[in-house]
Amino acid sequence: MKRTTISLPDDLALVVERESRRRGVSVSALAREALAARLQDPGATREVPFAGLITSGEPLPADRAEKLLGVTWARDIEADRGE
């Protein structure tokens, strides 16, 4: 396996770190998966990034889902900042 170093903008780095923690995988594993999905088979069906994010057990109207996502993401952002 070849080792490669990349530079990311701070906001993207936070997203990558948060997603790797959420999935319980390393940042390297997440980057390999994302690059493979994007570059190896551009016509393949892609995962919907928000699927399964809210698991209330019942369908939510869009306005309620947006409010719940706002609360959830605010908590994630605070946790990333150490607040």
The predicted pLDDT at position 10 comes to 92
Mean pLDDT for 62-82 is: 74
Q: For 26-61, what is each residue's pLDDT tens digit?
A: 999 999 988 887 787 655 555 555 556 556 566 667
pTM of the model: 0.48
Spell out the SS3 assignment of the chain: CCCCCCCCCHHHHHHHHHHHHHHCCCHHHHHHHHHHHHHCCCCCCCCCCCCCCCCCCCCCCHHHHHHHHHHHHHHHHHHHHCC
79 pLDDT band (50/70/90 cuts)? confident
